[in-house]
Amino acid sequence: MLVNLKEILQMAEEKNIAVGSFNTPNLESLIAIISAAEELDVPVIIQFAQCHEPWIPVSVIGPIMVEHAKKASVPVCVHLDHGETLEYLQQALEIGFTGIMYDGSVLSYEENLANTKRAVEMAAKYNCSVEAELGSMGKRESGAGDGSGEEDDTKIYTDPVQAKQFVEETKIDALACSFGTTHGIYLAKPQLDFDVVKNVRAQTGNIPVVMHGGSGVSKEDFHTGIKAGVRKVNYFTYMDKSGGNAAAEYVNSLKENEPKFYSSVVLAATEAMKENVKEAMRTFALLDE
């Protein structure tokens, strides 16, 4: 069942849980995620990030995502993650995405504000909801960035007072906040400031807060963040890693002269991603409390 971002976040708000938002830059991850959501009977967000364009074009995977969402037995939002240009956002809207994120976090506040307003105007024509970002997690969605080593001095935590002004002027449906998480593999235990989440919610009239860089965060910290007001958790790196590890384990288990079939590798990777995603979904929906 295809729904938009605002609708699925309202479901999370009513239950005081978070919805998992998983990147699907290939068919295997898409199948793993939707089947996991259907087995657990939880809503889910499938998303595609602009930085994954070299892996597969959104023009190819996007329509497949939309069709799978329509056929799913649970509510599914098809979301554009970290859209960096308005032109790319327009492409996702025309494909049928029901949520878009404009990421102007590397721009000045004024440029981010102006472009986000434009994104909201564009999305309204398609009954699509908008997420935006205020602050910076340092590393970009790909896991690369200016930070190096265990500490990332390029992080800029979201200012709740500035968030109030930003939300009021843009009319966005969700806000990605920087409160200590990082994209990619964690090099050290993240130091999360949940007061940022609480204060952003208080200042903005309880806008749904989005946690980026969710992979590698402890179950306890997820629960704390959700109770503080996180309603969407982006999760990809550790899911992707689980698939890669399963594929490697399968290949290594074969005898030296035993034939190696790609289809068998894919099945092993898909099943591993599905189990990893189910564990994350249980955490986000507080099913494991």
Count CB neighbours of 148 within 10 A.
Answer: 12
Q: Count other C-beta atoms under 10 Å from residue 221's C-beta.
A: 18
**Cα distance between residue 240 and residue 141, in whole Å:** 14
Q: Is 81 a catalytic residue?
A: yes
The catalytic residue among 41, 81, 153, 159 is 81
The string of DSSP letters for 149-176 reads SS--TT-B---HHHHHHHHHHH--SEEE
CA triple 210-180-185, angle to 5 deg: 90
H-assigned helices in the chain: 5-15, 27-40, 58-71, 86-95, 109-124, 160-170, 194-204, 219-228, 237-253, 262-284
What DSSP string describes 278-289?
A: HHHHHHHTTTT-
**Residue 134 contacts residue 175 (beta carbons within 8 Å):** yes
Please work out, in degrees rounded to the nearest 5, the angle formed at the alpha carbon of residue 213 by the alpha carbons of 109 and 287: 125
Q: How far is CA 16 from CA 83, 194, 285, in A?
A: 27, 16, 9
- Which of these, 210, 212, 93, lies nearest to 142 by C-alpha position? 212
Give the N- to C-terminal CA distance of the chain in Å, as an integer: 27
Query: Can you name the residues that pair with 134 across neighbouring β-strands?
Result: 177
* Residues whose CB falls within 8 Å of the CB of residue 252, separated by 6 or more in sequence, listed in order: none
- Catalytic positions, written as ranges: 81
